[in-house]
């Protein structure tokens, strides 16, 4: 990672870019050698998962790698914190980044694509690691579609409106019709892309199933992390999920 410190001017520019064009880019976040290193990790993990979709959540899951280092980097954390504060005018809630390494491959990877969603975190940063030869699985978004919600209940209503077959289908159709509402980002491996994950309705396009599409995703500032309703719903979902799987 070549970045060391961001000036206040840079923070303002990045925040304005995210507001205006939906995203901002930090070019060459990873050097060529660093990128190769992380690509080797992806290849190992995908092989270990039997060439199926795999997501490694948390920095422990990538312990000892550059990804874990970046996920805990004070420079990166400071960048995210200042961007969130610049945008929201308040101090951020989190003192850590939440990271996931997402590896899409084959049909199982396709099934994880074209699922429109809002993140729970204000800021999302994506570092593409591997891209397949054909369709790259571009990032697709409706930037800043909703405001930061004041309560978890309102956030839940937004999510329920999207998490159903009808809404998903109409979004896919709108994209296929060439609707100009969408912002499509062809991401380059090694660059870091920043956008409002909480506010933007987003997904990735299907990628060529023959190759690997891997992204290191970093989330910052879980807006309703401290909500007791969020906690209760999360724990009841944790109870329900295994039963559902057993039935299916
Ligand atoms: O892999 C991507 O491009 C998007 C991932 C994403 O939106 C997420 O993990 O929340
Ligand atoms: Fe997301």
Look at 50 and 2; give whichever has higher pLDDT: 50
pTM of the model as a whole: 0.93
Percent of the chain with pLDDT over 90: 85
Report in angstroms the alpha-carbon separations of 52 from 25, 36, 109, 140: 29, 21, 7, 23
Distance CA 2, CA 181 (A): 34
| Ligand index nearest the alpha carbon of residue 138 | 1
Q: Which of 105, 139, 200 to mutate to test the pocket of ligand 1 (most atoms within 8 A of CB)?
A: 139
pLDDT in tens, 222-242: 999 877 777 777 777 665 544
The pLDDT value recorded for residue 243 is 39
Write out the residues surrounding ion ligand 2, Cβ under 5 A.
119
User: Mind listing the domains of the chain with CATH numbers?
Assistant: 8-223 (2.60.120.620)
213 Cα nearest atom in ligand 1? 1
**Residues with Cβ within 8 Å of residue 31, at least 6 apart in sequence:** 2, 190
For the stretch 131-184, pLDDT in tens is 999 999 999 999 999 999 999 999 999 999 999 999 999 999 999 999 999 999
Give the rounded distance of the alpha carbon of 3 from its chain centre: 21
Res. 23: pLDDT tops 80:
yes
Asked if 221 and 84 count as a contact pair (C-beta separation under 8 A), the reply is yes
């Amino acid at each position: 990672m070549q970045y060391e410190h961001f000036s206040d001017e840079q923070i303002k520019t990045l925040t304005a870019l995210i507001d205006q064009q939906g995203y901002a880019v930090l070019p060459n976040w990873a050097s060529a050698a660093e990128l190769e290193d992380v690509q080797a990790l992806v290849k190992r993990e995908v092989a270990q998962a039997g060439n199926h979709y795999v997501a490694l959540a948390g920095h422990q899951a990538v312990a000892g790698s550059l990804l874990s280092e970046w996920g805990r980097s004070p420079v990166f954390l400071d960048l995210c914190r200042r961007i969130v504060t610049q945008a929201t005018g308040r101090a951020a809630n989190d003192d850590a980044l939440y990271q996931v390494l997402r590896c899409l491959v084959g049909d199982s990877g396709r099934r994880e694509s074209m699922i429109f969603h809002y993140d729970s975190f204000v800021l999302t940063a994506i570092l593409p690691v591997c891209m397949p030869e054909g369709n790259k699985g571009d990032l697709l978004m409706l930037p800043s579609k909703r405001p930061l919600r004041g309560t978890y209940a309102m956030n839940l209503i937004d999510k329920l409106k999207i998490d159903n077959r009808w809404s998903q289908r109409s979004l896919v159709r709108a994209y296929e019709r060439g609707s100009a509402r969408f912002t499509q980002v062809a991401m380059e491996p090694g660059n870091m892309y920043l956008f409002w994950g909480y506010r933007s309705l987003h997904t990735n396009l299907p990628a060529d199933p023959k190759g690997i599409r891997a992204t290191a995703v970093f989330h910052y500032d879980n807006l309703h992390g401290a909500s007791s309703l969020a906690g209760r719903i999360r724990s009841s979902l944790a109870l329900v999920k295994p039963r559902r799987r057993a039935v299916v």
